[in-house]
Amino acid sequence: MEDLNLVISLAGTVFGLAATVLAVAAKYIKNYKAKKAVEQVLKISNIVLPLMCEAEKFTDLSGEEKKTFVLAKANVFAEKNSIPFDGALVSRKVEELISLTKQINVKTKKTKKQKTIDK
């Protein structure tokens, strides 16, 4: 009877320890995957702005053609670096950057006009 209590106690301890190890391992794997995904998105995000600057040098292309150029180059970068490419996400980021630059350019133009008037 005493041996049975010892075996049950030992089994309960082992089961509890195994459950804890599995829970920690699952959380670690989940966090690792999330971290990797964020790093990949960051890599693509970091390449988009220089690509946009490169596309702006093409004065004979329309805005949509420049955006297509940026998306194509970003896709090539993703393939070379084994990063899954989400065209919709990159497209939204490009649109956000375009919107931001338009706002900055408007403010800059207004500031220059005011300085000219003040002189």
For 79-101, write each residue's pLDDT tens digit.
998 888 888 888 888 888 888 87
Please state, as a whole number, how many other Cβ atoms lie within 10 Å of the Cβ of residue 61: 14
Residues of the chain with pLDDT under 50: none
**Residue located via tokens 């800059």:** 108
Q: Quote the pLDDT of residue 76.
A: 92
Separation between Cα atoms, residue 40 and residue 100, nearest integer Å? 23
What is the distance of C-alpha 71 from the center of its chain?
15
Is the pTM of the predicted complex or chain greater than 0.85?
Answer: no
